[in-house]
């Protein structure tokens, strides 16, 4: 019925009424908390571009993971910063590598917390690209698959509950699934960075992880930001190859892609609220331009509303505290 019989404001009059009819719920159980773990450091090293986020020693990562768990956050996502790098990124699949050691330590201290291992070579290669290089400097897609598969097996053997390939090589989900199954790790899920765009919003992460390419860029393997149809194709190919969860990265500039991926894939969808998105809010809040708490909760709610079941965010601990206060 039209106005005046229909008045949508009726259900907005009180806090309780607004809560009763709220369509999208945001809880700490929706979050994954990313952490940077550095081999060989003591304590914490602040990351200038990401206020409130530090590079962590293994011991401090265990503590940080425990804090996340206590706030109701069910999972952490580990990024490793190795002692040394080489052309192949060989510490990625070293059973005594930083992600493997941290996974074992976290699972021993907090067995109920899910550990997701980011699976890429960019933090480990001396050139900063996400795979091994051909003589002409182009990333060799097929040669990289074997290294990624080996890394996935090493991470899963170390106790990772989920492996998360973020490299954007063609065919890597299938190669990883086959390697895990061949090693008897048939129950290890794959969270595929399926629609990962060549984004301007990764800058602070590359400072944090020391993973900026030494030359060129990643546009030959990460996606063109203009392409939504291709994002759906990428996702459906990963599903066919055995992905258990798919991801869109970044989140806020790609809410339309999150919605399309959720509708087309009809499976759990993660979205990564990336370092640049985090840094923008932090900088604006520090300058007094916006209310940090309100802006963060609105942004994370919008990611959930677009269709993400899982939100990977550096805001996770703060957001969990704020949600407990409401």
Tens-place pLDDT, residues 215-249 = 767 888 899 999 999 999 999 999 999 999 999 99
Residue 80 clears pLDDT 90, i.e. is over it: yes
Instruction: Give the whole-angstrom CA distance, residue 9 versus residue 212.
Output: 50
Q: Is 107 a catalytic residue?
A: no
Instruction: Give the whole-angstrom CA distance, residue 66 versus residue 76.
Output: 10
Alpha-helix runs per DSSP H in 158-243: 172-182, 203-209, 228-241
- pLDDT at residue number 241: 98
Domains of the chain: 24-325 (3.20.20.70)
SS3 sequence of 2-70 = CCCCCCHHHHHCCHHHHHHCCCCCCCHHHEEEEEEEECCCCCEEECCCCCCCEEECHHHHHHHHHHHHH
Residue 212 clears pLDDT 80, i.e. is over it: no
pLDDT band at 57 (very low <50, low <70, confident <90, very high): very high
Q: Is 249 a catalytic residue?
A: yes
Average pLDDT over residues 152-172: 97
Q: Convert the pLDDT of each residue in 267-301 to its tens digit.
A: 999 999 999 999 999 999 999 999 999 999 999 99
Quick one: how many helices (H) and strands (E) in the chain? 11, 10
- pLDDT at residue number 251: 98
- pLDDT at residue number 304: 98
Residue 150, Cβ neighbours under 10 Å: how many?
17
- pLDDT at residue number 326: 75
Q: Convert the pLDDT of each residue in 123-141 to its tens digit.
A: 999 888 888 999 998 999 9
Please report how the helices 275-286 and 292-306 are oriented relative to each other, as an axis angle in degrees rounded to 10: 150
Q: How many CA atoms lie within 13 A of 120 on its CB side?
A: 26
Q: Write down the mean pLDDT value for the chain.
A: 95
What letters, b where the CB count within 10 A reaches 16 and e where it falls short, cover 109-141?
ebeebbbbbbbbbbbbbebbbbbbbeeeeebeb
Residue 105 clears pLDDT 80, i.e. is over it: yes
Beta 75-81 vs 31-38: how paired, if at all?
A: parallel
Six token digits for residue 137: 């400097």
Instruction: Give the whole-angstrom CA distance, residue 140 versus residue 152.
Output: 18
| 3-state SS class at 147 | helix
Say what percent of the chain tops pLDDT 90: 88
pTM over 0.85: yes
Q: Distance from CA of residue 15 to its chain's centroid?
A: 33
Beta 114-119 vs 44-46: how paired, if at all?
A: unpaired
Six token digits for residue 97: 């590598």
Six token digits for residue 219: 């546009």
Pick the catalytic residue from 107, 249, 262, 317.
249
Pick the catalytic residue from 85, 196, 282, 317.
196
pLDDT band at 210 (very low <50, low <70, confident <90, very high): confident
- Quick one: which H or E segment has residue 304? helix 292-306
Q: Convert the pLDDT of each residue in 301-311 to its tens digit.
A: 999 999 999 99
Nearest C-alpha neighbor of 121 from the set 155, 154, 166: 166
Q: Convert the pLDDT of each residue in 314-326 to its tens digit.
A: 999 999 999 998 7
Alpha-helix runs per DSSP H in 183-227: 203-209
- pLDDT at residue number 216: 67
């Amino acid at each position: 019925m039209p106005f005046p019989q229909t008045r949508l404001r009726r259900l907005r009059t009180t806090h309780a009424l607004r809560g009763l009819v709220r369509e999208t719920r945001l809880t700490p159980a929706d979050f994954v908390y990313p952490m940077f773990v550095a081999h060989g450091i003591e304590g914490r090293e602040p990351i200038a571009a990401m206020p409130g986020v530090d590079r962590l020693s293994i011991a401090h990562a265990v503590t940080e993971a425990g804090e996340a768990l206590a706030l109701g956050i069910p999972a952490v996502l580990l990024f490793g910063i190795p002692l040394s790098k080489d052309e192949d990124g060989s510490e990625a699949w070293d059973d005594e590598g930083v992600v493997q050691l941290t996974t074992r330590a976290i699972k021993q201290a907090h067995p109920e917390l899910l550990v997701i291992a980011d699976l890429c070579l960019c933090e480990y290669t001396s050139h900063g690209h996400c795979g091994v290089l051909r003589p002409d400097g182009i990333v060799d897609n097929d040669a990289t698959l074997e290294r990624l598969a080996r890394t996935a097996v090493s991470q899963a053997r170390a106790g990772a509950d989920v492996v998360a390939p973020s490299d954007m090589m063609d065919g890597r989900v299938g190669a990883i699934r086959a390697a895990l199954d061949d090693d008897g790790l048939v129950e290890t899920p794959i969270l595929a960075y399926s629609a990962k765009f060549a984004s301007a919003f990764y800058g602070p992460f590359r400072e944090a992880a020391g993973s900026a390419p030494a030359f060129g860029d990643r546009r030959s393997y990460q996606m063109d930001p203009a392409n939504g149809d291709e994002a759906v194709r990428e996702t459906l190919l990963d599903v066919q190859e055995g992905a258990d969860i798919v991801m869109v990265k970044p989140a806020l500039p790609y809410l339309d892609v999150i919605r399309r991926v959720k509708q087309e894939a009809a499976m759990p969808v993660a979205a990564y609220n990336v370092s640049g998105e985090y840094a923008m809010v932090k900088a604006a809040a520090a300058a007094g331009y916006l209310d940090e708490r309100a802006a963060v909760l609105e942004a994370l709610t919008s990611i959930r509303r677009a269709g993400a079941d899982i939100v990977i965010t550096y805001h996770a601990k703060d957001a969990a505290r704020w949600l407990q206060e409401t």
